[in-house]
Amino acid sequence: MDAFYASVEQRDKGVHNAVEAGVDTLEHGNYIAPEHMKTIVAKGIWFVPTPYVAEYDAQWKAERAGKQPQESPGLKIEEETFRRALQAGVKIAFGTDVGAFEWDMSPARQLITMVKWGMTPAQALRAATIRGAELMQMQNDIGTVEANTPTSSRSRVIRYLTFRSCRKSASS
């Protein structure tokens, strides 16, 4: 890969311009218009959403104001965009936006949001592993867990931490 172009776009005009310019990835993509989905699929552009951040923002802002969390219009738009991308067959990889929430919170919480928004658990795990490796064109080196490889010894720890974090997130 000679050059790789990522675009941090969250609104319609920016997404449109990025798609037309030929980016490789759309990061966040809080809103992607339905008419752009076909073009994104045709051009093979990756979508790297950060859906947990939207949920966290809605929760955090409500808690800071001493109110009960409510679904915000932005959260609903982001969920609808994610579902449309999934349905359209857009290539999706796991994004984190670490730093947009407390540092002691595991980014694995996002797996729960991805499943809540329409992915199967297997699709969400693939988005966080092999799909990310494919995005970076490193699928021959990383992104899978296989016996007798350097990742196999760590895989039990990773699976445990992810499972533990997801269970803890689901119960909170």
Which of 56-60, 94-98, 118-122, 136-140 has the highest mean predicted lDDT (pLDDT)? 118-122
**28-59 confidence digits (pLDDT tens):** 888 899 999 999 999 999 999 988 887 887 78
Quote the percentage of the chain above a pLDDT of 90: 30
CA distance 102 to 3: 33
Give the count of alpha carbons within 13 A of 129, CB side only. Answer: 15
Kindly state whether residue 65 falls inside one of the protein's structural domains. Answer: yes
Is residue 1's pLDDT more than 70?
A: no
Reported as a pLDDT band with limits 50, 70 and 90, residue 67 is confident
CB-based contacts of 160: which residues, under 8 Å, 6+ apart?
none
User: Could you tell me the two tokens for 16?
Assistant: 């449109």
Give the number of domains in the chain. 1
For 32, list phi and psi in degrees, rounded to 5. -125, 120
In the chain, where does DSSP find H-type helix? 12-21, 34-43, 51-64, 73-88, 109-116, 121-128, 130-135, 150-171
Q: For residue 31, what are the domain limits?
A: 6-143
Report the CATH number at residue 115: 3.20.20.140
The span from the CA of 111 to the CA of 121, in Å, is 8
Q: Is 157 part of a structural domain of the chain? A: no
Domain assignment present for 169:
no
- Selection from 55, 54, 50 nearest residue 128 by Cα: 50
In this predicted structure, what is the pLDDT of residue 150? 53
Closest CA to 88 of 26, 9, 139: 26
In angstroms, the Cα distances linking 138 to 122, 141, 153 are 20, 5, 20
